């Protein structure tokens, strides 16, 4: 008897140019393109095992050991159905392929970091889910990562960027069916190995406003978002791509900080306003600004997603300097686990500066 099972793991990605807003909520088509860095260490990953078996009576998902309901027509169901449909096409085309598309699936997923704490858990989660079922169905041999990103996108928009390593763009696309809204690799990790990301965990509590509901409120109420979509992001995507290609850190860093600022500005411009950053987040912004000012050059870039946690992009030669500063001004933080890893994680806690 054959065992039909596959395990895949996917890391978190942290956006430099933020995705915020959908033009189609069912297909998850964004209002603007975005660009992120996929973290490549072991600390922030989802690992998913999928198994198909004739004896299973329904598709079942466990997240960190707890069974989650798979809502019919919901995001998980859409991803599973699309992968199953593609498997069926392959089975119909090749009679040697075992007929497993009719079997129900058991899927177990595990995050090694807090879920929904502004650490892009849904991105890693759906990327790992899609990868593992794609492997189980041998679709990874016939579809590219970009093609699979079309499916992961329908699980969670940012998930499409976690299927590739390095620097990844999600092209918003123009078509109504979403077939051109996919992720492409701008540069592999090896292109800029000196790039590091320090993850400063300000809080690992679950966030108040989910990205999904927050961004739609912004689409409906924020005039600033229209300006961002039409007049800011298109140029920023070009500029940051060029900066990455030229390994121009000051430009990369400036654009990253500007885009984080504008993302949080459109949140503030939403009715009612959404606040993701807190006092500790803002103190970390000041620390980075002061650090760059004192250095006389841009050596570090902060960025914040839909939560208070800070990610600091920094080149390897300056990791220790900025890590030491964070620890000095936030004494509740212990020494970073590994300052020379791509990222280090430590809970910063409350600001303890007098």
Report in angstroms how near the CB of residue 307 gets to ligand DP6 at its nearest. Answer: 8
Q: Which two tokens stand for residue 190?
A: 């090896």
Question: Residue of minimal CB distance from ligand DP6?
Answer: 157
Q: Among residues 212, 221, 258, 278, which is the contact residue for ligand DP6, using CB under 6 A? A: 212
Does 137 bind ligand DP6 (CB under 6 A)? Our answer is no
Which residues are bridge partners to 304 per DSSP?
Answer: 310
Listed residue (36, 16, 11) closest to 301, CA to CA: 16
Residue 158, SS3? helix
**How many residues line the site for ligand DP6 (CB under 6 A)?**
16
Q: Report phi then psi at 23, rounded to 5.
A: -95, -15
- Pick 20 or 330: Cβ nearer ligand DP6: 20
Listed residue (120, 113, 111, 96) closest to 36, CA to CA: 120
The CA-based diameter of the chain, rounded to the nearest angstrom, is 72
Does 211 bind ligand DP6 (CB under 6 A)? Our answer is yes
Do 122 and 153 contact (CB within 8 A), yes or no? no
**Residue 302: is it exposed, middle or buried by C-beta count within 10 angstroms (0-12/13-18/19+)?**
buried
Residue 311, SS3? strand
Does 257 bind ligand DP6 (CB under 6 A)? Our answer is no
- Pick 139 or 233: Cβ nearer ligand DP6: 233
- Pick 52 or 202: Cβ nearer ligand DP6: 202
Q: Among residues 32, 156, 241, 260, which is the contact residue for ligand DP6, using CB under 6 A? A: 156
* Cis-peptide into 166, omega within 30 deg: no
Could you say which residues in the range 281-320 bind ligand DP6, by CB under 6 A? 305-306
- Pick 49 or 156: Cβ nearer ligand DP6: 156
Report in angstroms how near the CB of residue 277 gets to ligand DP6 at its nearest. Answer: 12
Does 127 bind ligand DP6 (CB under 6 A)? Our answer is no
Does 269 bind ligand DP6 (CB under 6 A)? Our answer is no
- Pick 309 or 345: Cβ nearer ligand DP6: 309
Does 120 bind ligand DP6 (CB under 6 A)? Our answer is yes
- Pick 135 or 209: Cβ nearer ligand DP6: 209
* Cis-peptide into 304, omega within 30 deg: no
What is the C-alpha separation between 44 and 342, in angstroms, rounded?
Answer: 11
Residue with tokens 């189609």, as numbered in its chain: 24
Question: Which of these segments, 118-126, 224-232, 278-286, 327-335, binds ligand DP6 (CB under 6 A)?
Answer: 118-126
Report in angstroms how near the CB of residue 314 gets to ligand DP6 at its nearest. Answer: 20
> What's the DSSP call for residue 65?
T
Could you say which residues in the range 13-32 bind ligand DP6, by CB under 6 A? 15, 18-20, 28
Report in angstroms how near the CB of residue 291 gets to ligand DP6 at its nearest. Answer: 24
Question: Which of these segments, 1-9, 131-139, 155-163, 252-260, binds ligand DP6 (CB under 6 A)?
Answer: 155-163
- Pick 34 or 131: Cβ nearer ligand DP6: 34
Who contacts 289 (Cβ-Cβ below 8 Å, separation ≥6)?
none
Do 15 and 256 contact (CB within 8 A), yes or no? no
CB neighbours of residue 55 within 10 Å = 6
What is the C-alpha separation between 267 and 288, in angstroms, rounded?
Answer: 22
Q: Return residues touching ligand DP6 (CB under 6 A).
A: 15, 18-20, 28, 34, 120, 122-123, 156-158, 211-212, 305-306
């Amino acid at each position: 008897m054959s065992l039909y099972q596959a395990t895949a793991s996917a890391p978190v990605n942290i956006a430099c140019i933020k995705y915020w807003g959908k033009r189609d909520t069912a297909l998850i088509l964004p209002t603007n393109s975005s660009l992120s860095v996929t973290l490549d260490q072991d600390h922030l990953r989802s690992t998913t095992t999928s198994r198909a078996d004739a004896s299973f009576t329904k598709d079942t998902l466990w997240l960190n050991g707890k069974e989650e309901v798979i809502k019919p027509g919901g995001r998980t169901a859409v991803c599973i159905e699309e992968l199953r449909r593609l498997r069926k096409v392959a089975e119909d085309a090749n009679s040697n392929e075992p007929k497993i598309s009719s079997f129900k699936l058991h899927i177990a997923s595990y995050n090694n970091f807090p879920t929904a704490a502004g650490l892009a858990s849904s991105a890693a989660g759906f990327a790992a889910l899609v990868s593992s079922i794609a492997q189980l169905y041998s679709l990874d041999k016939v579809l590219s990562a970009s093609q699979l990103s079309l499916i992961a996108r329908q699980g969670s928009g940012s998930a499409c960027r976690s299927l590739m390593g390095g620097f990844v763009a999600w092209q918003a696309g123009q078509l109504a069916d979403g077939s051109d809204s996919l992720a492409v690799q701008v540069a592999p990790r090896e292109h800029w190995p000196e790039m590091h990301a320090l993850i400063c965990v300000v809080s690992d509590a679950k966030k108040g406003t989910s990205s999904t509901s927050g961004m739609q409120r912004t689409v409906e109420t924020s005039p600033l978002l229209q300006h961002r979509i039409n007049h800011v992001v298109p140029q920023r995507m070009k500029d940051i791509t060029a900066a990455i290609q030229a390994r121009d850190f000051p430009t990369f860093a400036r654009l990253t900080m500007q885009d984080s600022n504008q993302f949080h500005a459109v949140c503030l411009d939403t009715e009612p306003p959404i606040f993701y950053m807190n006092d500790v987040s803002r103190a970390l912004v000041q620390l980075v600004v002061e650090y760059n000012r004192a250095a006389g050059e841009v050596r570090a870039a902060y960025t914040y997603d839909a939560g208070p946690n800070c990610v600091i992009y920094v080149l390897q030669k300056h990791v220790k300097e900025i890590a030491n500063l964070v620890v000095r001004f936030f004494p509740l933080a212990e020494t970073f686990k590994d300052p020379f890893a791509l990222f280090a994680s430590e809970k910063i806690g409350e600001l303890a500066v007098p």
